[in-house]
Amino acid sequence: MANNKQQMKRNIQNEKRRLANASFKSSLKTALKNVETEVKNNDKEKAVEALSYAYKKLDKSVAKGIHHKNYANRQKSRLSDKVNAL
C-alpha cells in the first residue's frame, strides 16, 4: 500500500488508464469481429465499411501505445485479405 502522496496519485492514474485501455481493447475486438462477420455474410459493402473502421481503431491503438505497430499491421493484412477474397 502506498504511503506517500505521489504514489497514491500515481495508483489512481494507473487505475483510470487501465480501465480506459480495457474499454478501448474491447471496442477494437468488436470492430475486428464485425469485419469477419460481414465477410462471413458475403456482404462486400458492409465489410469494406467495417474494415475502414477497424483500420481507424487499430491505428488509434498504436498511437495510444496500447498495441505494437506490428500487431496492428498483422491484423490489417489479415482482414484485408479476407475482404479482398470476396
Domain parsing of the chain, residue ranges: 5-84
Q: Is 13 exposed, middle or buried (0-12, 13-18, 19+ CB in 10 A)?
A: exposed
Distance between CA 80 and CA 52 in Å, rounded? 10
Position 1 scores a pLDDT of 75
* CA atoms 19, 21, 22, 24: torsion sign: positive
- 53-79 pLDDT, tens digit per residue, is 999 999 999 999 999 999 999 999 999
Average pLDDT over residues 26-30: 97
Taking the model in full, what pTM does it have? 0.86
pLDDT tier for residue 42 given thresholds of 50, 70 and 90: very high
Q: Among 1.20.58.110, 3.40.50.620, 3.90.1170.40, 1.10.1760.20, what is the CATH number of 5-84?
A: 1.20.58.110
